[in-house]
Amino acid sequence: MNSFIKFTKLIIVTIFVGLLVPITFANAGYEEAKKALDERRFEEAFAGFTEAAEEGHMLAQYYLGVMYATGRTLPRDDVNAYKWFMKAALQGHPISQGNIGTMKLNARGTEYDLPGSYFWFILAEDGGFEKARKFMWRVTNYMNREDINTMQAKAEEWIRENRGEINNES
């Protein structure tokens, strides 16, 4: 029986390490990429953010979106900026949520979507990105009451379903 317990512990440790290693590499890749960005080594930062973002690192996804959206470090690509901001936004990153709202409002990388823009501004503001509040209220000037109520309800549902998960993972 003792060997069975040792074997079980070995399997559990192996599984745990197997799950932890990609997260550790993604975090290390992100940290190196952020340092490279801060030191203006843009190609290295782009490569590091790309690798970490593809592994699901939320902040790497955000910074990759910034790099594509601004066009300062590589050619501007709104479709890829939208893609990476959306990945971070779906993980609850408030600034990315605000960026999605802005991109929908300005039809950058996606189609014009006023109610969708309002939805993402609500999420961004709820997540602590206070600048989203002014955009959120501005867009309501161009929306009908039914769309406002629908988007508020959808946003409240998303917050209920997702903010708890995000807070529990922190």
Q: Which residues of 100-126 are buried (b: 16+ CB within 10 A; e: fewer)?
A: bbbbbbeebbbeebebbbbbbbbbbbb
- pLDDT of 8 above 80: no
Domain ranges of the chain: 92-170
What letter represents residue 71's amino acid?
A: G
Flag the least confident range among 27-31, 71-75, 77-81, 93-97.
27-31
Binning pLDDT at 50, 70 and 90, where does residue 49 land? very high
**Per-residue pLDDT tens digits for 124-152:** 999 999 999 999 999 999 999 999 999 99
Binning pLDDT at 50, 70 and 90, where does residue 163 land? confident
- pLDDT of 18 above 60: no
Q: Vertex 66, ends 88 and 117: CA angle to 5°?
A: 60
Mean pLDDT value of segment 46-64: 96
* Spatial distance between the Cα atoms of 96 and 152, rounded to a whole number of angstroms: 19
Least Cα distance to 57 among 100, 91, 26, 25 occurs for: 26
Residue 104's pLDDT is: 98
In DSSP notation, 79-118 reads: HHHHHHHHHHHHTT-HHHHHHHHHHHHHTSSS---HHHHH
More confident residue, 100 or 167: 100
- pLDDT of 48 above 70: yes
**Per-residue pLDDT tens digits for 105-119:** 999 999 999 999 999
More confident residue, 168 or 116: 116
Residue 142's pLDDT is: 96
For the record, the structure tokens of 96 come out as: 């990315």
Residue 11's pLDDT is: 45
